[in-house]
Amino acid sequence: MFNKKIFLSVSLPAFLITFSLLSIVQLKGHLQMIIAERFFHNGGWIEIFVLSFYAGFLSYKMSEQKNTSKWRMYSWLLFTIVFYGQLTLGLLGFDKFLLTGNLHVPVPAIILAGPIYRFEFSIMPVLFLSTIILSGPSWCSHLCYFGGIDNAFSNSEKYPKQIPIKNKFIWKFSFLAIIIFFTILLRLLNIPTFYAAASGISVGIMGLLIIVFLSRKRKKMIHCTLFCPIGTLVMFLKFINPFRIKINSSCTTCLLCSKHCKYDALNKTDIESGKPGLTCTYCGDCITTCKFSSIEYHFLGLAPANSRLLYIVITVSLHAAFLGLGMI
């Protein structure tokens, strides 16, 4: 049944935020960043309307707690398909799908390695950091072009299996250190861009193999939780933003939520400490599973239910806005 209150407090703000964000890009951007504008005059405005409606619709659907996980997966997968679809079309010679004509290697590690190697910032780190400031770790639960693949492959009706590793943080920090070390080495040795890009693509292929063989098998986002260096950065950078997830005193430590967390952030010690572990991305999947409503979003002085809706509005608006941009 149509819920007018949710429409006014969630869908309408998501529509307006998406419309405002994309309108600024349409009016001020100098590269025809709204992709439809590159194909016909004022196509950008039509696309902005469509995406703003989409943001309103998606935020409405995600606000229903029992559907959050399902719609998060659909929308994240759509984002991934659009992103890599644009890349494929660009590589096939339809260069209107490429933002500048300079390809960005579409592997998350390059968000970190690219600026180190080139010694300059590009659009991707700027987009990434903007999302951290606006909505904490939503990059790793709704917005990353690669994480959508890990999420889809680990999706299952069955419960995720435990990660068979004692200290996941040793793995995470080791991979982060390896990526930084080798990128500095490439830079110091003046390795040509072609070979540096080939290294980036190899990291992406390794990531895909991990997803296909490990995440799919264990029903857990092994790539994002253990290997991706950007996920490791997000673990800490997310605290720049005031959104938090906490577990309140009604928790009975039944551990049901633990079985639903694909990011391995709800082990017994995490639950007993009253908050998820560092790898939590605020995806919200666990909230549906808790029969005692013990898991809550918090944002400054807002009530938990409103904090959750605010998180959905901001995250969905960013997701819809990013869908409209020619990103590569």
| Residues in touch with ligand SF4 (CB under 6 A) | 108, 139-140, 144, 146-147, 150, 224, 228, 230-231, 234, 245, 247, 251-257, 260-261, 263, 265-266, 271, 276, 280-286, 289-290, 292, 294-295
Q: CB burial class (10 A; 0-12, 13-18, 19+) of residue 53?
A: middle
**Residue given tokens 């590159």 in the structure block:** 38
Instruction: Report the residue number, 37 or 150, with the smaller CB distance to ligand SF4.
Output: 150
Q: Which residue of the chain is nearest ligand SF4 when measured via CB?
A: 147
Secondary structure letter of residue 39 according to DSSP:
T
Contact 200, 110 (CB under 8 A): yes
Secondary structure letter of residue 183 according to DSSP:
H
Calculate ∠ Cα 122-101-132, nearest 5°.
30
Amino acid at the residue 231: G
Minimal distance, residue 186 CB to ligand SF4, in Å: 20
Distance, CA of 75 to CA of 79 (rounded, Å): 6
Instruction: Report the residue number, 52 or 281, with the smaller CB distance to ligand SF4.
Output: 281
Minimal distance, residue 42 CB to ligand SF4, in Å: 34
Instruction: Report the residue number, 186 or 266, with the smaller CB distance to ligand SF4.
Output: 266
Minimal distance, residue 230 CB to ligand SF4, in Å: 4
Distance, CA of 92 to CA of 214 (rounded, Å): 31
Instruction: Report the residue number, 34 or 310, with the smaller CB distance to ligand SF4.
Output: 310
Instruction: Report the residue number, 199 or 215, with the smaller CB distance to ligand SF4.
Output: 215
Contact 49, 107 (CB under 8 A): no
Distance, CA of 260 to CA of 15 (rounded, Å): 30
Secondary structure letter of residue 266 according to DSSP:
-
Instruction: Report the residue number, 236 or 292, with the smaller CB distance to ligand SF4.
Output: 292
**Residue given tokens 């790898």 in the structure block:** 279
Minimal distance, residue 90 CB to ligand SF4, in Å: 20
Minimal distance, residue 78 CB to ligand SF4, in Å: 15
Q: What is the DSSP string of 219-262?
A: TS-HIIIII-HHHHHHHHHGGGSS-EEEE-TT-----TGGGG-T
Minimal distance, residue 288 CB to ligand SF4, in Å: 9
Q: What is the CA radius of gyration of the chain?
A: 20
Minimal distance, residue 180 CB to ligand SF4, in Å: 15
Instruction: Report the residue number, 180 or 251, with the smaller CB distance to ligand SF4.
Output: 251
Minimal distance, residue 231 CB to ligand SF4, in Å: 3
Instruction: Report the residue number, 99 or 280, with the smaller CB distance to ligand SF4.
Output: 280
Distance, CA of 232 to CA of 49 (rounded, Å): 36
